[in-house]
């Protein structure tokens, strides 16, 4: 069975839990930007957490299913339509052969997810079905979907599992226009003046429209760097360093203006000082930000970050009961 | 009857195809169905905003180079055959 794409949407890609283990050779982990929402969609249709889903950005696709299919839509709030009639998010939808799935305007957030029982069947590349568009790697032909594409649905790995009956309102992630994002300082926070770090952690930052799978750029006050004689190999700006590996989620501030938080498709290294790093438990939250979102960066300790990671993992594993 | 042309996307709205070029449409212009009235830039992509009705474009509700969100009214068209 397959989905026949009539309209691709702005940027619809196949994603899964990511391509781990190749960051050292410059291939980012990728995967669904909002992992929790994607995982919830899989849990509802009766997949495991492994199956690939469709990640839809701002403007959703329109497609037909060639056979009956069980799907679920999670993530950013959006009008879901089956043959033009409204349907719910966060629950199982039974489609019949020939049914058309389409979407209205996004009401908040940035990305929503479509899971189908059996998962989107594209080749596994370096251990993942995720699309890395900048490297033309994985997913459907290494690119976002286009009109006329035919996406096959796989047999899945959790045969016989009906899935959760839905995700209750209290369990769903929220898509607020104000966010508090936890960060750990470093690795190059010593390059900021005390006032500079104070500005980063006290200002309210506004997410600009320059935000995608590689990173999110914020507008706000200018950040002060310590002056120094730049070492050999570093650029001339005080925000430049001798090239170094970039932590996933790290924040750089080219020229001291407009911090950029790197996300799942970001490059693995470069020459901008990373002054702080978004903790792994808040990367999904960051991914839910729509342009205009007012954001505070709040510093936590490494211990707090690790505890938050463990809590987030535990919450996610609860979705799966005894399935996994 | 007036009709609102609504943005399906967030991003920046431009009334011109490029610097120094003429605007796609101006207030007071006669507009046909499917005619482009501007573009929205988001994620390094430019999406044309087209009118879904014909008539006279009475007002732009978003500034040139202004930020828009999904559902925002971009322009109002007085529908006329």
- Rounded to whole angstroms, the Cα distance separating A162 from A50 reads 16
DSSP annotation of A103:
E
| Same domain? A119 vs A265 | no
CB A29 within 8 A of CB A20: yes
| Same domain? A200 vs A101 | no
- Rounded to whole angstroms, the Cα distance separating A186 from A200 reads 12
Using CB atoms and an 8 Å cut-off, which of residues 107-166 of chain A contact chain B?
Answer: 107
| Same domain? A88 vs A213 | no
Question: Residue A159's pLDDT is what?
Answer: 65
pLDDT in tens, A236-265: 889 999 999 999 999 999 988 999 999 999
What residues of chain B have any CB closer than 8 angstroms to a CB in chain A? 6, 8-12, 41-45, 47, 67, 69-71
pLDDT in tens, A192-232: 999 999 999 999 999 999 999 999 999 999 999 999 899 88
| Same domain? A189 vs A153 | no
The full length of chain B comes to: 81
Confidence (pTM): 0.94
- Residue B47 CA to its chain's centroid (Å): 11
Q: State the CB neighbour count (10 A cutoff) for residue A163.
A: 20
- Rounded to whole angstroms, the Cα distance separating A131 from A7 reads 18
A299 inside domain: yes
CB of A58 within 8 Å of a chain B CB? The answer is yes
Domain's final residue, options A171, A200, A226: A171
Lowest-confidence region among A67-76, A123-132, B17-26: B17-26
Closest approach of A218 to chain B, Cα-based (Å) = 14
A321 inside domain: no
Name the percent of chain B lying above pLDDT 90: 89
- Rounded to whole angstroms, the Cα distance separating A130 from A53 reads 9
- Rounded to whole angstroms, the Cα distance separating A69 from A118 reads 9
Residue A274: which CATH number?
A: 2.40.100.10
Domain's final residue, options A139, A171, A203: A171
Question: Residue A165's pLDDT is what?
Answer: 87
Q: Is A81 left (phi over 0), alpha (psi -120 to 50) or beta?
A: beta
Closest Cβ opposite residue A58 in set B6, B41, B42:
B42
CB of A219 within 8 Å of a chain B CB? The answer is no
| Same domain? A164 vs A194 | no
| Same domain? A130 vs A275 | no
Instruction: Note the ipTM here.
Output: 0.82
3-state secondary structure of A287: helix
Residue pointed to by tokens 């035919």: A150
A323 inside domain: no
The full length of chain A comes to: 324
Domain's final residue, options A171, A192, A220: A171
pLDDT at residue A322 is higher than 60? no
- Rounded to whole angstroms, the Cα distance separating A56 from A261 reads 21
DSSP annotation of A226:
P
Closest Cα to residue B49, out of B8, B19, B2, B3?
A: B8
Identify each DSSP E strand in chain A by its residue range.
2-7, 11-15, 53-57, 62-65, 69-75, 78-82, 85-87, 92-95, 100-106, 111-116, 150-152, 178-185, 205-211, 215-219, 240-245, 250-252, 260-262, 269-272, 274-278, 294-299
Contact A209 B47 (CB under 8 A): no
pLDDT at residue A324 is higher than 50? no
| Same domain? A82 vs A38 | yes
For residue B48, the chain A residue with the least C-alpha distance is A10
3-state secondary structure of A262: strand
- Rounded to whole angstroms, the Cα distance separating B25 from A35 reads 42
| Same domain? A133 vs A202 | no
Name the percent of chain A lying above pLDDT 90: 89
In the structure encoding, which two tokens stand for residue A114, read together?
């479509």
Q: A271: domain range? A: 178-314
Task: Enumerate the residues of chain B whose CB falls inside 8 A of the CB of residue A211.
Answer: 43
Question: Residue B19's pLDDT is what?
Answer: 87
Residue pointed to by tokens 């970050």: A305
- Give how many domains chain A has, as a whole number: 2
């Amino acid at each position: 069975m397959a989905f026949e794409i009539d309209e691709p949407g702005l940027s619809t890609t196949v994603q899964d839990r990511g391509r781990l283990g190749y960051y050292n050779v410059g291939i980012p982990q990728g995967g669904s930007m909002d992992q929790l929402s994607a995982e919830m969609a899989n849990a509802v249709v009766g997949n495991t957490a492994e199956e690939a889903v469709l990640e839809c950005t701002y403007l959703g696709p329109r497609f037909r299913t060639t056979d009956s299919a069980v799907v679920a839509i999670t993530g950013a709030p959006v009008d879901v339509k089956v043959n033009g009639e409204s349907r719910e998010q966060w629950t199982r939808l039974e489609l019949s052969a020939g049914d058309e799935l389409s979407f209205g305007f996004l009401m908040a957030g940035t990305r929503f997810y479509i899971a189908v029982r059996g998962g989107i069947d594209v080749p596994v590349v370096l251990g993942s079905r995720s699309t890395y568009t900048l490297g033309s790697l994985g997913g459907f032909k290494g690119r976002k979907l286009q009109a006329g594409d035919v996406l096959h649905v796989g047999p899945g790995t959790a045969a016989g599992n009906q899935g959760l009956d839905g995700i209750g309102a209290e369990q769903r992630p929220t898509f607020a226009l104000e966010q508090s994002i936890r960060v750990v300082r470093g690795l190059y926070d010593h390059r900021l003046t005390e006032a500079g770090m104070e500005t980063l952690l006290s200002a309210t930052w506004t997410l600009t429209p320059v935000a995608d799978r590689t990173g999110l750029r914020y507008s706000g006050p200018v950040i002060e760097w310590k002056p120094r004689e730049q070492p050999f190999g570093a650029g001339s700006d005080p925000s430049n360093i001798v090239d170094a590996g970039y932590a996933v989620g790290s924040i750089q501030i080219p020229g001291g203006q407009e911090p950029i938080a790197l996300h799942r498709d970001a490059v693995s290294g470069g020459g901008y000082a990373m002054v702080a790093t978004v903790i792994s438990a808040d990367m999904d939250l960051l991914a839910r930000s729509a342009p205009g979102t007012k954001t505070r960066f709040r510093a936590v300790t490494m211990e707090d970050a690790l505890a938050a990671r463990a809590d987030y993992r535990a919450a996610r594993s609860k979705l799966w009961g005894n399935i996994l | 009857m007036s009709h609102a042309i609504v943005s399906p996307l967030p991003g920046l709205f431009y009334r011109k195809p490029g610097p120094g070029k003429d605007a796609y449409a101006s207030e007071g212009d006669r507009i046909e169905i499917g005619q482009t009235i501007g573009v929205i830039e988001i994620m390094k992509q430019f999406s044309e905003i087209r009118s879904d009705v014909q008539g006279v474009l009475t007002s732009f509700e978003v500034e040139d180079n202004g930020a828009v969100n999904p559902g925002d009214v971009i322009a109002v068209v007085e529908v006329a055959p």
